[in-house]
Structure 1
Amino acid sequence: MPQYTSGNNWDFLRQFVTLLAIIGAFVVNVLSNISPLNGLTIGEISNSLFNNVLIIPANYAFVIWGLIYLGLFAFGIYQFLPNQKHDLDLRKTGYLLVIACVAQSVWVYLFLSRLFGLSVIAMLLILLPLIGIYLQLGIGNKYVPREKKWCVDFPISIYLGWISVATIVNVACALYFQKWNGWGISAEVWTVIMFLAAFSIAAMICIQRQDIAYTGVIVWALVAIAVKHWNNSLLRNVALILAIVLAAIATAIKLRNRHDY
């Protein structure tokens, strides 16, 4: 009996700290827009210092953070419910989401402080725990109830999808700030290479795990980049073609799964 009680206490602590970390990350994000450090918001820094970084999506794309935080709050509340205290999947994820949320708050500070090299490290500390959660949950590889899919799997997939994009963008910004010459390769070619990398990862996840949420985020990002660079025929066409192919793959998988049932 004492061991069971102790387990309860540790589970409650994990639940509480996870919910607190989500709330903390949200508050930091809100404050960074209302009263930004050094006077400029993340978007304003992006539009001024990194206006020439071609991989950055159009401004409207960042409204996805509303969906991400909605999902995170759903996750936080769901995992905090008493009947989820002993959920083995949530137990296996441990404090990984806490690490990601804390790293995100640190990233906001570093980026607003224009410490872009260090911000890449913080971004990786968001990305890697999310990958760990994704793998521990086995998203797409096993059946979960509808409620859990909406409150756990989808929020993590969407968050990971956008952080995958954000990591590529963050690295590109840091290299641009350091005046990296791209080894003599043009910025357009590097951007296409990054398109292909993001596309390949998303296509693999979509095919292997039937993860429509992750794939949808990458499609969203590619279209937003195409919109921003509409007058650049190379970037526009490549981004749109890859987005269409990804959407087609996701649709085919969705239709096949529906047919199977």
Structure 2
Amino acid sequence: MNSDFARRLAITAAEILCIIGTMVGLGVLGGPEVQQASGGALAADATYIAPAAPAFSIWTPIYLGLLVYTIWQWRAVGESPRHRATGWLAAATMVLNALWLLVVRAGWLWVSVAIIAALVLTLGVLMSRLTSMPAESTLDRVITDGTFGLYLGWVSVATCANIAATLVDSGFEPQKWVAEILTVIVLAVAAGLGMLYADRLGPRLGVALAMGWGLGWIAVGRLTDRPESTVVGIAAAIAALVVLAATAAARRRPLPHTRTA
């Protein structure tokens, strides 16, 4: 078994595991959905930084992208230096995603925090390598860079929500004004992370749109649903605009060899 075949096989196995994990997360195989698991700790109204329910529809293009990416690996492009350098990382992200879903269903929220943090780091390294080794075709750029860009952007926002939900579930319930201040600080960090991505990875539309999507739905959630907070809603909207603006600025000063997917 040569290394290219082994990597393709690992990516395919990881995709199958990811699909199974998703079915578990959606409750297809029995039990509650992820948002209702762990006593509803990850529900859209559980914390000030939880995105409104429609935000989670972003998983549809991400999961479809991962499926297409897996099929894409079995073509000749899967033997390129670019995909040899990133394929194992891609497989790891799918395994970590499945593990996160299973762990949350089991109620192990602090373990889920460690897993989602590892997922963000792995995606960050993956996107960095994709940036240093640009795609040779528009199709590869859309399938690979686009999919993992969306993935990184969304999971970066989801990590903030995951940590907040875990703290609340553990009994950390400060007064409203304290919770609002802490949430605004976290949103500022998220905006700063979006700016860092734009600086290090270049004008990645997938990353920016996914972060803007997640932050935007946090704003909608706090302005229209419980727990209501005008301060957090406005801060989340500003954070989303900051991320999008940073990416727009990066488009005017692209990094060497940086693509925009």
TM tier, smaller = 0.7 to 0.9
Provide the residue aligned with 1:244 in structure 2: 241
Write the distance in 2 (CA, Å) between the matches of 1:167 and 1:205.
Answer: 16
Q: Equivalent residue of 1:186, what SS?
A: helix
Write the distance in 2 (CA, Å) between the matches of 1:241 and 1:170.
Answer: 21
Provide the residue aligned with 2:146 in structure 1: 154
Q: Give the 3 Å change call, closer, same or farther, for CA 183–58 of structure 1 in structure 2.
A: closer
TM superposition shift of 1:210: 1.1
Confirm whether residue 178 of structure 1 aligns to residue 170 of structure 2: yes
Q: Give the 3 Å change call, closer, same or farther, for CA 229–185 of structure 1 in structure 2.
A: closer
The one-letter code matched in structure 2 to 1:92 is: A
Provide the residue aligned with 1:3 in structure 2: none
Provide the residue aligned with 1:199 in structure 2: 191
Provide the residue aligned with 1:188 in structure 2: 180
Provide the residue aligned with 1:108 in structure 2: 101
Provide the residue aligned with 2:6 in structure 1: 13
The one-letter code matched in structure 1 to 2:190 is: A
Confirm whether residue 63 of structure 1 aligns to residue 88 of structure 2: no
TM superposition shift of 1:36: 5.6
TM superposition shift of 1:144: 3.9
CA deviation string 1:37-78 (max 9, x = no partner)? 6x3211223883353411110000000000101111121111
Q: Equivalent residue of 2:3, what SS?
A: helix
Q: Equivalent residue of 2:240, what SS?
A: helix
Aligned counterparts, 1:125-136, within 5 A = 125-136=118-129
Question: Which structure shows the bigger proportion of residues in helix conformation?
Answer: 1
2:41–2:166 contact (8 Å) kept in structure 1: no
Q: Which moved more, 1:178-187 or 1:114-123?
A: 178-187
Write the distance in 1 (CA, Å) between the matches of 2:60 and 2:82.
Answer: 26
Confirm whether residue 145 of structure 1 aligns to residue 142 of structure 2: no
TM superposition shift of 1:243: 1.9
Provide the residue aligned with 1:219 in structure 2: 212
Q: Percent identity?
A: 26
1:99–1:125 contact (8 Å) kept in structure 2: no
Write the distance in 1 (CA, Å) between the matches of 2:135 and 2:205.
Answer: 15
What TM-score results when the alignment is normalised by the length of structure 1? 0.84
CA deviation string 1:146-177 (max 9, x = no partner)? 11111111111111111111222111111111
Q: Equivalent residue of 1:138, what SS?
A: helix
Partner of residue 68 from structure 2, selected from 60, 74, 92: 74
Q: Give the 3 Å change call, closer, same or farther, for CA 46–255 of structure 1 in structure 2.
A: farther
Partner of residue 89 from structure 2, selected from 75, 91, 96: 96
Write the distance in 1 (CA, Å) between the matches of 2:88 and 2:186.
Answer: 31
Q: Which moved more, 1:14-23 or 1:58-67?
A: 14-23
Write the distance in 2 (CA, Å) between the matches of 1:46 and 1:169.
Answer: 14
Q: Give the 3 Å change call, closer, same or farther, for CA 43–68 of structure 1 in structure 2.
A: same
Number of residue pairs the alignment of both structures matches: 247
Q: Equivalent residue of 1:54, what SS?
A: coil
Write the distance in 2 (CA, Å) between the matches of 1:202 and 1:135.
Answer: 14
Q: Which moved more, 1:188-197 or 1:95-104?
A: 95-104
TM superposition shift of 1:104: 1.6
Write the distance in 1 (CA, Å) between the matches of 2:180 and 2:46.
Answer: 11
Q: Equivalent residue of 2:217, what SS?
A: helix
Q: Which runs of 5+ in 2 are unaligned?
A: 255-261
Q: Which runs of 5+ in 1 are unaligned?
A: 1-5
2:46–2:165 contact (8 Å) kept in structure 1: no
The one-letter code matched in structure 2 to 1:76 is: T
RMSD across aligned positions (CA): 2.6
Write the distance in 1 (CA, Å) between the matches of 2:130 and 2:174.
Answer: 38
1:16–1:80 contact (8 Å) kept in structure 2: no
1:226–1:240 contact (8 Å) kept in structure 2: yes
Q: Give the 3 Å change call, closer, same or farther, for CA 249–131 of structure 1 in structure 2.
A: closer
